[in-house]
Amino acid sequence: MAKKIQSVKGTRDLLPPATRRWAAVEEIAREVFGSYGYGEIRTPLLEHTELFVRSVGEATDIVGKEMYSFDDRKGRSLTLRPEGTAGIARAFVQHAMGSSGLPIKLFCIGPQFRYERPQRGRYRQFHQIDAELIGDPGPTSDAELLLMLVRFLERLGFDELTVLLNTVGDEASRGAYREALVDFLEPLRDRLSGDSRRRLESNPLRILDSKVPVEQELLEAAPRLDDYLNRESGDHFEAVRRALDGCGVAYRIEPRLVRGLDYYSRTVFEIVAEGLGSQDAIVGGGRYDGLIEELGGPAVPAIGFAIGQDRLIDILPEAFDAGCSAEPPVHLVAAGEVDPVALLELGEELRTAGLAVETEVGGRSVKAALKRADKAGARWMVLAGEDELGRGEVALRDLALGEQIQVSRETAIAKIKEKE
């Protein structure tokens, strides 16, 4: 036997019927996001490595150790996208999308890649649903984006999810705070973990959400970010909260929430879920006012989020499946010496009438066909034998009741439709 080839580590096949949930989630995303004026964008899976280094940030784990990168035949360094925002921002700049008026609202559904050790809720190929609102600096946009996110999750049947909210201030505020935090932590250097010590230089804010208990204690006395917010940043956050309160969006302020990507400014947020083990973040996002300019575009502010589709689908409420299960098709079966073309034609006739039809072309016994139809949960079987075809009729069997009648094709179609 030849050696079997299996899927690449950290990637997985999504098989039917599970794919129905995926498609249903995506349909609902298109519908909900569409109702807020968002248009779908599809960016390449492959980008120049440079894009992520410049946007996500050199000091981040994503760029530092998780990128799925390789050289192409001409020696150019390419990377399978590890997140969605960078590519969308790149496309915005490349196509001068701002020239047709701002803001631009976009969403993107598709796979992302990170070279990590797989575990539950973490795969090398995973899937995100991104939404980005580009070109409006106002807190009302922040609130509307979050509102849309919450509505989407509600549509899927989630009702217990809470948005964790924080602000990391604008660049000036963050700069001032960063200095204060480093001044505070520097004398305590010896008591910090290796990771945190490294971050003292590269990305001090990330130390804030360290999970090391000792560090948590040390941080109790650390300067607080909100004391360093300038007037503008403070007002912005205040306005976001007021808008969310007004719309009845539940959130919890999480002062330690900072986010792993360099490009965030001001509003940042996250949603974590129960029952997912340690990979429990299902949504992350925030404002990125400097990113587009950083990528050579105009100085245009933006805000967005990414939903982890794999994790989301993992914890979808039970009731969700009922809503996306399809009506099992009518089973069309030949009995005896029947011209296969006549069977195919009959199938087409039923489909033209709007029915879903599964044709049993296996040439096996009627008994076997019935078993299959039964297992598929079908309600109807249309049986076409020599006798029936000769008279222009079919045998219509109601599998639920076990009743069978000889009727014309038209009558059969009418009967099936009537009971649907």
Interface residues with RNA (CB under 7 A)? 1, 6-7, 9-10, 60-62, 66, 83, 114, 116-123, 126, 128, 195, 206, 209-212, 259-261, 270, 277-284, 306-308, 310-311, 335-336, 364-368, 370-375, 383, 385-388, 395, 397, 399-402, 404
Q: Return the structure tokens found at 142.
A: 């922040």
Backbone φ and ψ of 327, nearest 5°: -65, 125
CB of residue 60 to RNA, shortest distance in Å = 6
Residue 258 CB, shortest distance to RNA, in Å, is 8
On whether the CB atoms of residues 268 and 142 are closer than 8 A, the answer is no
Joined together, the tokens standing for residue 419 give 């009971």
CB 99 to RNA: min, Å? 29
Residue 297 to residues 95, 251, 290, 305: CA-CA distances in angstroms?
A: 10, 33, 10, 20
Nearer to RNA, 13 or 418 (CB): 13
SS3 sequence, 351-418? HHCCCCEEEECCCCCHHHHHHHHHHCCCCEEEEEEHHHHHHCEEEEEECCCCEEEEEEHHHHHHHHHH
User: Cβ closer to RNA: 26 or 102?
Assistant: 26
> 41 near 81, Cβ under 8 Å?
no
Q: Does 82 sit behind a cis peptide bond, omega within 30 degrees of 0 on the bond before it?
A: no
Q: What angle do CA 354, 356, 362 make, to 5 degrees?
A: 140
- The shares of helix, strand and coil residues in the chain, as percent rounded to the nearest 5, are 45, 20, 35
> In angstroms, what is the minimal distance from the CB of 51 to RNA?
16
Q: Which is nearer to RNA, 301 or 304 (CB)?
A: 304
Crossing angle for the helix pair 409-419 and 340-352, nearest 10 degrees? 50
Least distance from RNA to the Cβ atom of residue 262, Å: 10
Q: What whole-number distance in Å separates Cα of residue 187 and Cα of residue 291?
A: 33
Q: Is 93 helix (H, G, I), strand (E, B) or coil?
A: helix
Q: How far is the CB of 337 from RNA (least distance, A)?
A: 9
Distance CA 155, CA 320 (A): 10
Least distance CB 96 / RNA (angstroms): 27
Taking a C-beta distance cutoff of 8 angstroms, is the pair 3, 72 a contact?
A: no
Q: Give the nearest distance from C-beta 193 to RNA in angstroms.
A: 8
Measured from the CB atom, is 209 or 226 closer to RNA?
209
Judged by beta carbon, residue 213 or residue 246, the one nearer RNA is 213
Q: Which is nearer to RNA, 140 or 312 (CB)?
A: 312
Closer residue to RNA, CB minimum distance, 226 or 280:
280
Please identify, using beta-carbon distances, which residue of 12 and 239 lies nearer to RNA. 12
Question: Measured from the CB atom, is 239 or 344 closer to RNA?
Answer: 344
Distance CA 81, CA 302 (A): 20
Instruction: Supply the minimum distance, in Å, between the C-beta of residue 7 and RNA.
Output: 7
